[in-house]
Amino acid sequence: MRDIDRLAIKNIRVLAMETITKAESGHPGIALGAAPIMYTLYTKVLKKNPMDPTWYNRDRFILAAGHGSSLLYTMLHLTGYNVTIDDLKSFRQLGSKTPGHPELGVTCGVDATSGPLGQGIPFGVGTAISEEYMRNKYNNDINLFDHYTYVLCGDGDLQEGVTNEALSLCSVLKPNRLIILYDSNDIQLDGQVSLCNKEDVKKKVEACGFNYMKVNDGEDIDDIYNAIMKAKKSNMPSFIEVKTIIGKTSKNENTNAVHGAPLKKDEVIDMRDNLGGEEFSVLDEVKNLFNEIKSNDLKAYDEDYKNLSNYKAKYPKLYSEIFDKKTITKDDLDLPFDASYNKATRNAGGDVMNRISEIDKNLIGGSADLMSSTYIKGINGEFSSTNRLGRNIRFGVREFAMGVIANAISVYGYTRGFLSGFFVFSDYLKPALRMQAIMHSPVINCFTHDSIAVGEDGPTHQPIEQLTMLRSIPNMNVIRPCGREEVKEAFVIAYNSLNNPTSIILSRQAMNEYRTLDNAKENLSMYGAYVIKKEVNKLDCILLATGSEVDLACKAKDALFNEGIDVRVVSMPSMYLFDKQSKEYQDEVLPKDKFILGIEMSEACHMYKYINGGKLLNITTFGESGKASDVMNHFGFTVENVCRIVKENM
């Protein structure tokens, strides 16, 4: 190792500690221990351009151990990204560009939001899948996509179940441009790793199809570099265990005390005195080193953009497929209106997803071993180690990893991710759904078997609180359509939404189509709620329903009309979108002076704000096992019960 390398690493450590100490908050352990790993990556390995941080062919880096953010921000500052010394000084402060954990879209140079341990490795898997697909689909005599995905993880990441899901999936998919660097220091927050985990990491990752390597001295940047270079030549994904010392150079090094507690200010001052220079400064020799690195970065970047210009001229259609953002309409789906359509919305969902996949050549996703039940799958065969152009991923029973991987595929920028599963099992991937929403990632989540109408499978498979859970996630659009027309509209909305994920909730049971030829052309679901069946003469009351319960409300409307009660039926596929409409529109659809009965086979608490003191027919217990019709009768989702409630409140 050169003297300048030692000096630079020392400066990195001091700067990261000053960042944490000024904030009086942060994690010095990884920032000190993993500094040589990050230095090696950012100075000798990563293909990047700080002036164009979203460069399509840059190497991607995911800090799985997101609590090491002070180290990442320090490296971003030194390598020329738009992270200033003032940004380091405002670390973890309200409104700063250097939040407590890395956030996509907040800090220049951050490729993924991270922090909740475990999601970094599956995010890396999804990113590597996108690179494999794009490289194999679009590279020809001109190479556009030629980069690697690097993940830095710690002991805690490897203990999370979702990481094991992702590692296991790699045994089949073999994303060989994925390189995981394991900051292996044998210490975690509560003490030694051996107190809770004694597995053989080498055997584990090798069993999952990884090329395992070990660097015995985490201070030896030459060994770290050589291991990464070997990994880049491997035909398997690589896992490099780097033995480090947590809190290296601090008084509490090699103990859990240094994991998440800032160093004493006097200790950080001593570190700076030993290095030289003013607080929060970078030594001139180190500045010169990083200026040379910036110059080298630009050479690869300039060469890539020459390739891109030539590619655009020679292959304009392929260029457009990659870089031109697309929107679609209902007409693009080429699925004509059918008034007699009475299949389950999952059937319609499968038809629509197939059509969108034909339109968008880079839509990739799959199911957690349920595509034969959800009817949602990718086209062009299975994505695998032998078919990089397949767009259906067999995730297996790995819901959480599926959610993270779909998130990464969408964040990648040139591919779009989707997933499918039973709605009740959205519980398994809720943390991934939350991260999708935080990252503004436009994933299309398709959940079927949406209610107690699942029937005989019983309460373990009958979602009750899941609609409430998803509707409570900020930035998540939850759409529960009725009929094929609303399904088409839901997928159009989801596909055209580029700044938020969408969860489309579909039924197993059949329902009638209540849209007409006259109102089928406009995407009425984009308003969130609308009048699907108008009152005949005068408005006596309103039935407000979502999904399959719209079918029930429309049947109840006919029965009530025969008894002299004139009812309006409002379909509300998306509360998220209805809340964005004007107050005038909302009051027009749901006038406040009329009795409103909300109908939904779920916990449905979000409906209360729309019924203006009316009544809510919902479910506040778990479901029951039995025939679907019997279970729905048991919970009162019948025409007779709806009519009874209306008449009692008129």
584 is catalytic: no
Q: Which residue has the tokens 């352990």?
A: 29
Q: Write the single-letter amino acid at 404.
A: V
Token reading at 647: 């008449």
pLDDT at 296 over 90: no
Question: Which backbone phi and psi does 59 adopt, to 5 degrees?
Answer: -65, 140
Token reading at 59: 């190497």
pLDDT at 300 over 90: no
Average pLDDT, the chain: 97
Cβ–Cβ under 8 Å, residues 562 and 587: no
pLDDT at 303 over 90: no
Please name the residues in contact with 594: beta carbons below 8 A apart, sequence gap of 6 or more. 539, 540, 541, 542
CATH number for region 3-300: 3.40.50.970
312-346 pLDDT, tens digit per residue, is: 999 999 999 999 988 999 999 999 999 999 999 99
CA 55, distance to chain mean position in Å, is 21
Q: Which residue has the tokens 């001229």?
A: 313
pLDDT at 425 over 90: yes
pLDDT at 650 over 90: no
Cβ–Cβ under 8 Å, residues 236 and 132: no
Segment 254-281 shows an average pLDDT of 96
Entry pTM: 0.97
CA dist 371 and 151 (Å) reads: 30
Give domain limits for the chain.
Answer: 3-300, 331-505, 524-648
Q: Which of 132, 253, 399, 513 is catalytic?
A: 399
Q: Which helix (H) or strand (E) holds 153?
A: strand 149-153
572-588 pLDDT, tens digit per residue, is: 999 999 999 999 999 99
Instruction: Give percent above pLDDT 90 in the chain.
Output: 97
Strand order in the sheet with 567-571: 530-533, 567-571, 541-545, 595-599, 615-617
> Which DSSP symbol is given to 531?
E
- Rg of the chain over CA atoms, in angstroms? 28
pLDDT, position 294: 86
pLDDT, position 622: 98
pLDDT at 133 over 90: yes
What dihedral do alpha carbons 373, 376, 380, 383 form, nearest 10°? -80
Q: Which helix (H) or strand (E) holds 196?
A: none
pLDDT band at residue 591, thresholds of 50, 70 and 90?
very high
Token reading at 439: 């990252």
CA dist 463 and 601 (Å) reads: 9
Q: How many CB atoms lie within 10 A of CB 381?
A: 12
pLDDT at 25 over 90: yes
Q: Write the single-letter amino acid at 650.
A: M
CA dist 45 and 331 (Å) reads: 47
527: helix, coil or strand? helix
Please tell me if the domain spanning 3-300 has the same topology as the one spanning 331-505. yes
DSSP character string of 70-119: HHHHHHHHHTTSS--HHHHHTTT-TT-SS-SS--TTTSTT--S---STTS
456: helix, coil or strand? helix
536-561 pLDDT, tens digit per residue, is: 999 999 999 999 999 999 999 999 99
pLDDT at 287 over 90: yes
Q: Write the single-letter amino acid at 456.
A: E
Report, at the CATH architecture level, how domain 331-505 is classified.
Answer: 3-Layer(aba) Sandwich (3.40)
pLDDT band at residue 34, thresholds of 50, 70 and 90?
very high
Q: CB burial class (10 A; 0-12, 13-18, 19+) of residue 64?
A: buried
CA dist 643 and 567 (Å) reads: 11
CATH 3.40.50.620 fits 524-648, yes or no: no
CA dist 229 and 213 (Å) reads: 11
Segment 51-57 shows an average pLDDT of 96
Q: Greater confidence, 396 or 650?
A: 396
pLDDT, position 295: 82
With vertex at residue 392, the alpha carbon angle to CA 203 and CA 357, rounded to the nearest 5 degrees, is 155
Longest pairwise C-alpha distance within the chain: 91
CA dist 168 and 183 (Å) reads: 20
Q: Which helix (H) or strand (E) holds 491?
A: helix 483-496
301: helix, coil or strand? helix
